Chains A and B, each alone.
Chain A
Amino acid sequence: MNRLALDRIVLKDRLQAITTALNPGAIKAICGPNGAGKSSLLACIAGLTRLDGGDVRLSGTALSQMSAEQRARQIGYLPQTPEIAWDVSVETLVGLGRLPWRDSSSATAREAVDRAIAALDLDHLRDRPASQLSGGERARALMARVLATGPQWLLADEPLAALDLAQSAALMRRFREQAREGKGVILVLHDLATAMNHAGRVLVLHQGRLVADGPPEQALSEAVIREVWGVRARWLGEPGARALAVEG
């Protein structure tokens, strides 16, 4: 059900024959050093990039066989650098998530927008122009935009990059909620401790290759970190609240 299967996907000079299968449920994290191909892989899974080989299949159908709108209804994508070109209100912004459905003024659309706004506690900011939102509010509004589409999968490229500690924690809580409700959530994460503590499964990329794929304790083991990032590091603390100590 709603399974995403990557079958030997190739992107010239960036990704080499990546095969794996992802099921909805716990958060999946994609980690790796800069230039490893994390964002490229996420864009491939979102169906935004033409592959040089292989297939990404959603519930058995190749994304390349779907229309762009069909795909957009099932896979929501948050790009790394969030952009809001016009000073629209939060409600209008969230409403953009309905575009793939072509139903913006229908009751279904209004309901979906209301639900997304409520899910991210944006009710009091409904009419606030985007330019007057804090970084955290902006991130929540953009996530609500993705939820308003009602996708089965939620993909985000470094969603925490511009957020402070509290904002990051709040947004990760939202992603966990979505995963618990049965959505597929895939995040590109730079911070290994966040991946260790919040993801149910981690994919580690190195030079375009998938070098580890499994539960975070395995995929982000000290041996893998040494091999891929080239640093000696030790995990401290209890499961679910771990911190990474890097030796200088």
Chain B
Amino acid sequence: MNRAVLLLAVALAVAVPLSLLAGRVWIDPFDPHTRNAATIVLQLRLPRAVLALVVGAGLGSAGAAMQGYLRNPLADPGLFGIAPGAALGAVLSFWTGYAASVWLLPVFALIGAGGAMALLAMIAGRQGGVALFTLAGLMIASLAGALTSLAISLSPTPFALSEIVTWLMGALADRSWRDVLVATPLTVIGIAVLMLAGRSLDALTLGGAAARSLGVDPRRLQALLIAGVGLTVGASVAVAGIIGFVGLIVPHLVRPLTDRRPASLLLPSALAGALLLLVADCACRVLPLAGAELRLGIALSLIGAPFFLHLLLRMRRGLA
């Protein structure tokens, strides 16, 4: 674990300063004459970079925890209803017009995430079983997805419609320190909660019965997981929209650097998620695309879907 953490920390230490210089306006740190350099860095790029780190760290560790919990390397935190729930909340804030008030969009999204978490806990909680948890999550995800589509199809104005659709694609463009303030505490608490579940996730390596014989309380584990994933994913959707595949990809890239226990994967996955999102966001910013910049959510799906396929094929050959 220490090797992975060290390696990723060094990579982040290099990537963060570079990301502040890259963009439509390239900033030369040795040339003090770039116009508005201080404003660009402090008001635009720094909050955006911090947000990429926070959101990436949350999604990465949530992915590692979900894979550990479901004992399946193809699990992604987005599958379990919390992200769609948060998205539904955010869409309703556009629909009702409350999104015009800057604080209310993330609040609506967090309420949506909280609702999905409560529903998940209510359906799956009594038994603490993994199968019921998965099915409940999928059900909530499709319900939230259907309601989101309904809201889009009934959208009151074409303006709201285009706002919703653009927002759902996920991005970190035009974010401010306010978003950092919303996402950071929730994500930090969420990662801490997931860390509390680490030992139980390790025990789960041996299957449910063996884990219980090692003293794991399945209901406590499930509660920790719902809370941890809810906080990290909910916070990320609230400020960035839906950004998929980070939680799926990152644990895979990190696993070979660790002893492969789920607990030893949590911190490195947080760091690697932060790094991945920071680099991807920079790439989106720098890519010369006609019109607007590439949306981060789309970019990651373009990378993530083939990666998923590659994993499936590898698993079929029994290598993953």
A residues sitting closer than 8 Å to B (CB atoms) are: 43, 46-48, 67-69, 71-73, 75-79, 81-89, 92-93, 96-97, 99-100, 102, 142, 145, 149
Report B20-72 residues with CB < 8 Å from chain A CB: 71
| Contact between B209 and A77, CB atoms less than 8 A apart | yes
Report B192-232 residues with CB < 8 Å from chain A CB: 199, 202-207, 209-210, 212-217
| Residues of chain A lying within 8 A (CB to CB) of residue B209 | 43, 48, 77, 79
| Residues of chain A lying within 8 A (CB to CB) of residue B210 | 77-79, 83
How far is B71's CA from A75's CA once the two chains are assembled, in angstroms? 25
- Chain A contact surface mostly: mixed
| Contact between A86 and B212, CB atoms less than 8 A apart | no
| Residues of chain B lying within 8 A (CB to CB) of residue A69 | 215
Stretch of B6-14, B176-184, B259-267, B299-307 on the interface side: B259-267
22 A-B pairs within 8 Å (CB atoms) are namely: A47-B213, A67-B215, A71-B215, A76-B213, A77-B213, A81-B207, A83-B210, A84-B206, A85-B205, A86-B71, A86-B261, A88-B260, A89-B259, A92-B260, A93-B205, A96-B203, A96-B205, A96-B206, A97-B214, A99-B214, A145-B206, A149-B214
| Residues of chain B lying within 8 A (CB to CB) of residue A72 | 213-215
| Contact between B199 and A99, CB atoms less than 8 A apart | yes
* Closest CB pairs A-B (n = 6): A83-B207, A77-B213, A72-B215, A85-B71, A69-B215, A79-B209
Contact among A46, A48, A86, A102 with B199 in the assembled complex (CB-CB below 8 Å): A102
| Residues of chain A lying within 8 A (CB to CB) of residue B204 | 85
Q: Which residue of B lies closest to A68 (CB)?
A: B215
B residues sitting closer than 8 Å to A (CB atoms) are: 71, 199, 202-207, 209-210, 212-217, 255, 259-262
B187 CB to nearest A CB, Å: 25
B56 CB to nearest A CB, Å: 23
| Contact between B215 and A99, CB atoms less than 8 A apart | yes
A228 CB to nearest B CB, Å: 26
How far is B211's CA from A84's CA once the two chains are assembled, in angstroms? 11
How far is B202's CA from A75's CA once the two chains are assembled, in angstroms? 19
| Residues of chain A lying within 8 A (CB to CB) of residue B206 | 79, 82-85, 96, 142, 145
B1 CB to nearest A CB, Å: 11
| Residues of chain A lying within 8 A (CB to CB) of residue B215 | 67-69, 71-73, 99-100
Contact among A84, A88, A100 with B214 in the assembled complex (CB-CB below 8 Å): A100
How far is B264's CA from A241's CA once the two chains are assembled, in angstroms? 48
Q: Which residue of B lies closest to A72 (CB)?
A: B215
Given pairs A48-B209, A149-B214, 8 additional interface contacts (CB within 8 A):
A48-B212, A68-B216, A71-B215, A77-B210, A83-B71, A83-B210, A86-B205, A102-B199
Q: Using known A-B contacts A48-B209, A79-B209, A81-B207, determine if residue A92 contacts B214 with beta carbons closer than 8 Å.
A: no
Q: Which residue of B lies closest to A129 (CB)?
A: B260
B51 CB to nearest A CB, Å: 32
How far is B212's CA from A79's CA once the two chains are assembled, in angstroms? 10
How far is B216's CA from A97's CA once the two chains are assembled, in angstroms? 12
| Contact between B213 and A88, CB atoms less than 8 A apart | no
Q: Which residue of A lies closest to B262 (CB)?
A: A86
| Residues of chain A lying within 8 A (CB to CB) of residue B259 | 88-89, 92
| Residues of chain A lying within 8 A (CB to CB) of residue B260 | 86-88, 92
| Residues of chain A lying within 8 A (CB to CB) of residue B216 | 68
| Residues of chain B lying within 8 A (CB to CB) of residue A97 | 214
Interface centre among A43, A69, A72, A86 (most CB of B within 10 A): A86
| Residues of chain A lying within 8 A (CB to CB) of residue B255 | 86
How far is B209's CA from A43's CA once the two chains are assembled, in angstroms? 9
| Contact between A46 and B207, CB atoms less than 8 A apart | no
How far is B132's CA from A71's CA once the two chains are assembled, in angstroms? 27
How far is B199's CA from A102's CA once the two chains are assembled, in angstroms? 9
Q: Which residue of B lies closest to A67 (CB)?
A: B215
| Residues of chain A lying within 8 A (CB to CB) of residue B71 | 83, 85-86
| Residues of chain A lying within 8 A (CB to CB) of residue B202 | 96, 99
How far is B210's CA from A84's CA once the two chains are assembled, in angstroms? 10
How far is B261's CA from A97's CA once the two chains are assembled, in angstroms? 13
A179 CB to nearest B CB, Å: 19
| Residues of chain B lying within 8 A (CB to CB) of residue A43 | 209
A189 CB to nearest B CB, Å: 18
Q: Which residue of A lies closest to B320 (CB)?
A: A87
How far is B71's CA from A83's CA once the two chains are assembled, in angstroms? 10
Q: Which residue of B lies closest to A155 (CB)?
A: B213
How far is B215's CA from A77's CA once the two chains are assembled, in angstroms? 11
How far is B206's CA from A98's CA once the two chains are assembled, in angstroms? 13
How far is B212's CA from A48's CA once the two chains are assembled, in angstroms? 7
| Residues of chain A lying within 8 A (CB to CB) of residue B261 | 86, 88, 92, 96
How far is B214's CA from A72's CA once the two chains are assembled, in angstroms? 5
| Residues of chain B lying within 8 A (CB to CB) of residue A79 | 206-207, 209-210, 213
Q: Which residue of A lies closest to B210 (CB)?
A: A79
